[in-house]
């Protein structure tokens, strides 16, 4: 009956409803399940858990594989299905609605004890549970997921998004059993109630909890922003890149290559975590139909470089240079002036966002902690690729459009960051020619995982110290020892000319 009602188009059609809780297409699920050892599908004792079930597609595809793999051990189809659904496949719905959808996908009935359920359980949930959970508020936010009480303390009329798997001190007690394999596609973020509709990543909490349960394998799909950025992801990134149990990663720079119609800034990745693996990770960079595979340790740098071909270039440059632009780039809000600051009638001249232009700030409001106000300053927008979500494309720096030189005595708002400052105008002009080289932008690109840039995004860009000539890629190739093949790769990544 399970095979007869299986319709691969149904869950594909509902696969893409939002960018926060993405429903996974069956084709993607099977790509992920292919990373697991094949012998699992013929083992009648292996247990599987999807703790973030939305459509039930992971559990359904696992069940289909077990039905085929266990045929020789349990020849009778009805007995085989009964055994699998009672003893091997388990799930937790992220909401009551998704638990109903998931049961319909897995049991062919939204009630596990219903007339049409292919296995008759004693209760309506069967092995696919939904636990009604509340946030635990502490100092105005949830102590488990960090969301704002003001935003999510909604009463009973609206979904509160308190996911049971990460809102428990003892998640292992939710189903009171140990699992061999934990799979799924967790929710990605929740609104914090902050300015500019900030959203707080939460997918890392599902990964941390899954590892805490100590299964044999974990297979998850999450945004790739953890590689180098993301609010509150620093500790998670450190743990992941140093965890030698990460056996495989498949990284998609453009999310539409794996989730058609869904735009996830910075792309997505899925990974296989293997409890017994200790060594290099098989890192697969996927761009449309082309996959580049490299076996490497992930902790070579403080961030995870997604393009493996870039690593030898970065290593070579780091051997040749001792100083990098992170020592010179200002912090965000370099002069303490916010984007929405109201221009005064007099004071220090200030460069606001481009649509506003020059204005004035009062002496009391200006902060010159970097001691650069009286220098020549080269500034770029803090969001040079605003509106872009495919960050495999290069940073766009344009002459007299988004790269400017500010005179001594002129400051800027937080719409801009100061890349470098100088005593003379000529030094600033020569540095500006460096910014427009493809090699400069290529090195910045390796760290970009959002539309915003800050000091850390220039950690691979050398500070040439002396800026007394016009720079070009030809000069930098010789200065940095870039080979012909390395230049061909750089040039392929930074194709568009600047104006």
The pLDDT value recorded for residue 260 is 83
* Residue 216's pLDDT band (cuts 50, 70, 90): very high
> Distance between CA 122 and CA 118 in Å, rounded?
13
Q: Under CATH, domain 2-309 is a member of which superfamily?
A: Vaccinia Virus protein VP39 (3.40.50.150)
Q: Which of 32-46, 331-345, 352-366 has the highest mean pLDDT?
A: 32-46
Q: According to the model, what pLDDT value does residue 198 have?
A: 61
Interval 65-77: pLDDT, tens: 999 999 999 999 9
**Which pLDDT score is estimated for 242?**
96
- Model pLDDT, residue 29: 96
The reported pLDDT for the residue numbered 195 is 46
pLDDT for residue 192 is more than 90: no
Show the tokens assigned to 71: 């045929």
* Whole-number CA gyration radius for the chain: 26
More confident residue, 80 or 259: 80
Check pLDDT > 80 for residue 42. Answer: yes
432 vs 499, higher pLDDT: 432
pLDDT of 226 > 50? The answer is yes
Residue 9 is predicted with a pLDDT of: 42
Tell me what percent of the residues of the chain surpass a pLDDT of 90. Answer: 66
366 vs 373: CA distance, rounded Å: 10
What are the CA-CA distances from residue 363 to residues 346, 352, 368 (Å)?
A: 9, 16, 10
Does the pLDDT at position 269 exceed 80? Answer: yes
Q: Which of 80-84, 155-159, 352-356 is most confident?
A: 80-84
CA atoms within 13 A on the CB side of 360: 7
Contact 349, 430 (CB under 8 A): no
Alpha helices in 160-251 (DSSP H): 203-212, 234-241
Mean pLDDT of the chain: 88
The domain ranges of the chain are 2-309, 325-493
Q: Which pLDDT value is given to residue 354?
A: 78
pLDDT at 148: 84
pLDDT score for 1: 43
Quick one: pLDDT at residue 400? 59
Q: Which tokens is 198 given?
A: 């900030």
Nearest alpha carbon to residue 309 among 489, 482, 185, 449: 489
As a whole-number percent, the residues of the chain with pLDDT over 70 amount to 89
In 3D space, the residue among 65, 471, 458 whose CA is nearest the CA of residue 228 turns out to be 458
Q: What is the pLDDT of residue 145?
A: 87
Taking only the tens place, the pLDDT of each residue in 290-306 is: 888 999 999 999 999 98
pLDDT of the residue at 157: 64
Residue 499 has pLDDT above 90, yes or no: no
**Range name among 164-178, 186-200, 319-333, 399-413 with the lowest pLDDT average:** 186-200
Interval 419-459: pLDDT, tens:
999 999 999 999 999 998 999 999 998 988 777 788 989 99
Mean pLDDT of 309-333: 94
Query: What H or E segment, with its residue span, contains residue 398?
Result: none
Residues 6+ apart with CB under 8 A from 21: 54, 94, 187, 188
pLDDT over 60 (residue 56): yes
Q: How confident is the model at residue 399 (pLDDT cuts 50, 70, 90)?
A: low
Query: Rounded to whole angstroms, how far apart are CA atoms 53 and 99?
Result: 7
Q: What is the DSSP track for 418-435?
A: EEEEESSHHHHHHHHHHH
Indicate the pLDDT class of residue 398, thresholds 50, 70 and 90. Answer: low
The Cα–Cα gap between 482 and 439 comes to 10
Whether the pTM exceeds 0.75: the reply is yes
∠ at Cα 87 (82, 92), nearest 5°? Answer: 105
Contact (CB, 8 A) for 248 and 284? yes
Which carries the bigger pLDDT value, residue 160 or residue 233?
233
């Amino acid at each position: 009956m399970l095979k007869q009602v299986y319709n691969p188009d149904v869950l594909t059609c509902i696969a893409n409803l939002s960018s926060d809780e993405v429903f996974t297409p069956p084709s993607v699920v099977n790509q992920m399940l292919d990373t697991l050892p094949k012998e699992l599908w013929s083992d009648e004792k292996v247990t599987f858990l999807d703790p973030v079930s939305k459509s039930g597609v992971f559990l359904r595809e696992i069940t289909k594989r077990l039905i085929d793999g266990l045929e020789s051990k349990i020849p009778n189809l009805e007995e085989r299905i009964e055994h699998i659904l009672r003893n091997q496949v388990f799930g937790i719905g992220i909401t009551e609605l998704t638990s109903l959808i998931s049961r319909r996908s897995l049991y062919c009935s939204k009630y596990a004890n219903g007339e049409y359920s292919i296995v008759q359980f004693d209760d309506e949930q069967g092995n696919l549970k939904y636990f009604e959970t509340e946030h635990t508020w502490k100092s105005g936010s949830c102590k488990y997921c960090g969301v704002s009480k003001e935003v999510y303390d909604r009463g009973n009329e609206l979904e509160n998004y308190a996911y049971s798997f990460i809102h428990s001190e003892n998640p292992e007690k939710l189903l009171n059993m140990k699992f061999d394999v934990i799979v799924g596609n967790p929710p990605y973020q929740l609104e914090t109630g902050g300015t500019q509709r900030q959203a707080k990543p939460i997918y890392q909490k599902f990964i941390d909890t899954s590892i805490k349960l100590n299964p044999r394998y974990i297979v998850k799909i999450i945004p790739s922003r953890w590689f180098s950025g993301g609010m509150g992801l620093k500790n998670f990134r450190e743990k992941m890149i140093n965890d030698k149990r990460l056996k495989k990663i498949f990284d998609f720079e453009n999310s539409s290559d794996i989730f058609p119609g869904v735009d996830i800034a910075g792309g997505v990745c899925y990974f296989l975590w293997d409890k017994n693996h200790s060594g290099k990770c098989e890192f697969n960079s996927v761009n449309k139909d082309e996959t580049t595979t490299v076996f490497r340790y992930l902790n070579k740098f403080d961030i995870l470089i997604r393009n493996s071909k870039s690593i030898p270039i970065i290593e070579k440059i780091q051997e040749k240079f001792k100083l990098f632009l992170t020592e010179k780039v200002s912090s965000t809000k370099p002069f303490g002036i916010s984007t929405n600051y109201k221009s005064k009638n007099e004071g220090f001249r200030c460069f606001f966002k481009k649509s506003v232009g020059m204005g004035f700030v009062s002496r009391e409001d200006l902060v010159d902690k970097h001691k650069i106000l009286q220098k020549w300053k080269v500034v770029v927008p803090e969001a040079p690729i605003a509106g872009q979500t495919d960050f495999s494309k290069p940073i766009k720096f344009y002459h007299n459009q988004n790269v400017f030189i500010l005179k001594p005595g002129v400051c800027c708002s937080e719409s801009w960051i100061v890349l470098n400052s100088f005593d003379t105008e000529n030094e600033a002009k020569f540095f500006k020619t460096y910014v427009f080289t493809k090699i400069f932008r290529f090195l910045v690109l390796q760290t970009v995982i959002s539309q915003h840039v800050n000091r850390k995004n220039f950690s691979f860009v050398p500070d040439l110290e002396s800026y007394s000539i016009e720079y070009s890629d030809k000069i930098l190739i010789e200065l940095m020892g870039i080979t012909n093949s390395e230049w061909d790769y750089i040039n392929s990544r930074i194709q568009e000319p600047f104006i």
